[in-house]
Structure 1
Amino acid sequence: MAHANLREPPASPHLVRFTQDFGQRSLLTVDTEEEFDWSAPFSRDGYGLDHLRRIAKFQQFCEGIGVSPVYLVDWPVAQSELARDIIGSAVKAGKAEIGVQLHPWVNPPYSEDVSIENSFAGNLPFSLEREKFLRLRNLIETNFEVVPRIYRAGRYGLGPNSAQMLSETGIAIDSSVRARFDYSAGHGPDYSHHPVNPYWTDTERKLIELPLTTTYWGMLRKQGGLLAPLVRRHPGLGGALSRLGLFERIALTPEGVTAEEALRGIDIALDDGLPILVLSFHSPSLAPGYTPYVRSEEELDAFYDWLRQIYAYLDRRGVQSTTVAEIMEKALV
């Protein structure tokens, strides 16, 4: 089987087609991870898991709006008895799904130096990336009594051999590509030229790449590939272009993106025929003080309001929530 280098954009992507009844759907993914200081150097210790108790409220909220979230759990969370109780109960009830998220700096074996470069698992030697992944995947299967079928590399840090690792271990969907984002300045991948549509990564069509949804909006959005690098180099330019309604990059996340912006992004994605809108956020945002996006209870209320507005709009547009299991079932091989 030929495995693609997922860090590189496919030369001629084989887009995933779905059964006619699938239509256009949304998938809510949660990077379910430990709390740590995002502005401090990476560390193997000193993290917390206090926010996990808030997942119970979030899960209840999701059930109330008819959404089955995908919890992409990393090593500290997979070890947590509280996470097993809250998330595991929802998974067993068919109200949520679980996947793998690899934060290499807190995931054994601990044989590499802790650094910015090594925080991207795909930068590690393949044998070490694979061993860390296998230990986490097996821990999840043991503690949550379910076989995970979806993966996201922490910090979106895929490597040249990640597809091989995932295919060999039963992962059916990777959702690590953050299309239209470039992390190369910090030793990470450059996804600025990757497709936003789901595509097959291998010739035998065993592994789907399901990018996180990001759209270009504005009168000049068709020139996004040319404008985005300029905006990265000149931050003030991005604000000016956005205010003039000319160009804006919109990720479907409640973290740093207003509901108004997200609704514009949804319209573009749906009008472009994107079959699956992938929304995402980090689980520590479910409690105040752990991410830059939610610093108070008032901001947490606004966070939930964002989700209410987005899903109410998706409902009006006829976009139903989907699951990993349904995506695998409805994908035409």
Structure 2
Amino acid sequence: MGAKLAVVIHAEEEFDWHGGFYRSNTAVSHHVELIKLIQAMLDLGAHVTLAMDYPFVTSKGGEEVIHFCKGCSNGTIEFATHLHPWVNPPFEEPLDGNQVSNRHSYPGNLSPDLEYQKLKVLTDKIEEVTGSRPVTYLAGRYGIGRNSQEILRSLGYEVDLSISAFSDFSHQQGPDFSQYNNALFSKGGITYLPHTCCRISRFKWLSSWLQKNPSYLNGRDIVSRVVRKVFGIVTYRLSPEGVDLNNLICAANHQIEMGHEYLILSFHSPSAKLGQTPYVQTHEDKLRFDAVTLDFIEWFMHQPDVEVFTPQRLASLKSIV
């Protein structure tokens, strides 16, 4: 079966990634650059999923991006949901002041009621602004928790992109996805498509084994680190943020060879503008980011038997196990 590519943009506010989580960080000033990049991707034949958080969907800049996307050809843009709990009402007072703890930056660590209320507010706002109710969800910081599935189902969601394959965020009070590879599956009425990430060794047999056993050699202990170095095991996320074109192509080819036909190319919307994320700090970074994004899409579109898609298309795939 041919490979299928979704481009998923984490459409969010600008903030200092190393400076904590503050309710006051709500600026969206990268809309002009983002519109240009979306247009360039569409010109290459891509489809784009705009997973939007509350500051983005309520800001002047975000509204301009949404207005542009609503004018694009039918089916090429999907409006999805991206929950950053530290900037999304309702807020708890006085415990939830301007700064939010690292633990509560993950939506899945909130109380069930607060996670539901925040997601409902955001879902309703996206429907109000775009004219369509979102069915695809992407938790901020990939932070789904034990209550997230039931909450998503109750609000009409059908697809979740929050799993980050091979990743473990438990050292920073986040979720542990180290048991997941990139396989599409359905559970509890929700179809899950992990954000594409791959682990590759210089030995092909080991790459295949790691794909089938994602939790092995994935730890932070000294033994795991040494074994990864000896066997040349590297991890790549399918993203132009910090990954060069050759490694993106290597990651995509690896996933296709492993039988995973659905791929997600993802990035954070502030990376479209110079100085807004750690990945784009210089003029050269900006040129590289744009070039890698567009060159990868162009490469993919020239491969045999490929398709582009938006994750909402997966909503009907309820029988996947």
Alignment of 1:95-174 (within 5 A): 95-111=76-92, 112-113=95-96, 114-174=100-160
Partner residue in 2 for 1:214:
197
Shift of 1:315: 2.1
Distance in 2 separating the partners of 1:307 and 1:235? 35
Partner residue in 1 for 2:243:
257
The TM-score, its normalising length taken from structure 2, stands at 0.88
Alignment of 1:20-35 (within 5 A): 23-35=2-14
Partner residue in 2 for 1:190:
176
Deviations 1:194-237 (A, max 9, x none): 242111011xxx310110011111113224532221xx345994
Query: Aligned in 2, Cα 1:107/1:309: closer, same or farther, shift over 3 Å?
Result: same
The secondary structure found in structure 2 opposite 1:317 is coil
Ranges in structure 2 where 5+ consecutive residues have no aligned partner: none
Partner residue in 1 for 2:271:
285
Distance in 2 separating the partners of 1:38 and 1:238? 29
Distance in 1 separating the partners of 2:238 and 2:273? 20
Match of 1:225 among 212, 215, 220: 215
Tell me how many residue pairs correspond in the alignment: 305
Distance in 1 separating the partners of 2:236 and 2:31? 28
Query: Aligned in 2, Cα 1:160/1:133: closer, same or farther, shift over 3 Å?
Result: same
Partner residue in 1 for 2:283:
297
Shift of 1:257: 1.4
The secondary structure found in structure 1 opposite 2:108 is helix
Distance in 2 separating the partners of 1:38 and 1:217? 28
Deviations 1:13-67 (A, max 9, x none): xxxxxxxxx7420111000000000111211104421112212101211111111
The secondary structure found in structure 2 opposite 1:97 is strand
Match of 1:181 among 127, 146, 167: 167
Query: Aligned in 2, Cα 1:102/1:53: closer, same or farther, shift over 3 Å?
Result: same
Shift of 1:329: 5.2
Partner residue in 1 for 2:232:
246
Greater shift after overlay, 314-323 or 206-215? 314-323
The TM-score, its normalising length taken from structure 1, stands at 0.85
Distance in 1 separating the partners of 2:246 and 2:231? 13
Shift of 1:316: 3.0
Match of 1:322 among 281, 295, 309: 309
Query: Aligned in 2, Cα 1:194/1:53: closer, same or farther, shift over 3 Å?
Result: same
Partner residue in 2 for 1:268:
254
Query: Aligned in 2, Cα 1:274/1:107: closer, same or farther, shift over 3 Å?
Result: same
The secondary structure found in structure 1 opposite 2:267 is strand
Q: Is 1:38 matched with 2:17?
A: yes
The secondary structure found in structure 2 opposite 1:228 is coil
> Which amino acid in the other structure matches residue 148 of structure 1?
P
> Which amino acid in the other structure matches residue 267 of structure 2?
F
Q: Is 1:64 matched with 2:54?
A: no
Query: Aligned in 2, Cα 1:248/1:238: closer, same or farther, shift over 3 Å?
Result: farther
Shift of 1:276: 0.5
Ranges in structure 1 where 5+ consecutive residues have no aligned partner: 1-21
Deviations 1:220-257 (A, max 9, x none): 3224532221xx3459947973xx77311111011111
The secondary structure found in structure 2 opposite 1:216 is strand
Deviations 1:171-213 (A, max 9, x none): 11000000100000010000010242111011xxx31011001
> Which amino acid in the other structure matches residue 196 of structure 2?
T
Q: CA RMSD in A?
A: 2.2
